[in-house]
Amino acid sequence: AKAPIIAPLGYFDPLGLSGSQERFDKFRAAEVKHGRVAMLAIMGAFAGHWATPLGAPAGIAGFQDPIGAKGCVALTFFCAFLETGPWADAFAKEPGNFGDPCDFGEVFGVKDMKEMQTKELSNGRLAMMATIGMCVQEGVFGEKFSDLPAQLGL
């Protein structure tokens, strides 16, 4: 099924890129994973304001620092491990749905997992837009715009 279909656009594929169910599933799984990474990136933008591991600078400058570059390589290898291991698509019930391995739904009293998946997809889309916006701002203006708490006066 092509759910969750989210208002106000409904099923949105104006270019017809997901012509088959298999391609749609592949794109949906990628969208969910990218959304999760973007949500973590937004959390990291906040956390980097107060603590930077091993003294690496915050923001895009962290990628240019030798310590930050090594951390980026380590993160890439960790993501590759997740992609080929526990988060491999073969283990998913449906695209991007790996169940609730930590039973957070039970802990937080979630009754409808489809509703939670729809919220995750929506929040992931928002986080992807916010992350790319932060990166573009920092690249264009050269200031550390990815330090969100500083922008908010915290």
Whether 1 shows a pLDDT value over 50: the answer reads: no
Range list of H helices, 6-147: 21-50, 61-64, 66-84, 104-107, 113-141
Please count the CA atoms within 13 angstroms of the CA of 112 that sit on its side-chain side. 5
Q: Does position 141 have pLDDT exceeding 90, yes or no?
A: no
Please calculate the CA angle 139-141-144 and round it to the nearest 5 degrees. 75
Instruction: Summarize pLDDT for 29-45 with one digit per residue, the tens.
Output: 888 888 988 998 888 87
Res. 23: pLDDT tops 60: yes
pLDDT in tens, 43-75: 887 777 777 767 777 777 777 889 888 888 998
Contacts of 135 (CB under 8 A, 6+ apart): 60, 146
**The pLDDT value given to residue 146:** 64
Q: Which of 1-5, 13-17, 54-58, 81-85 has the lowest mean pLDDT?
A: 1-5
Q: What is the pLDDT of residues 90-140, one digit of tens each?
A: 656 677 676 676 777 788 888 887 888 888 888 999 999 998 988 888 888
Structure confidence at residue 59 (pLDDT): 72
pTM above 0.85, yes or no: no
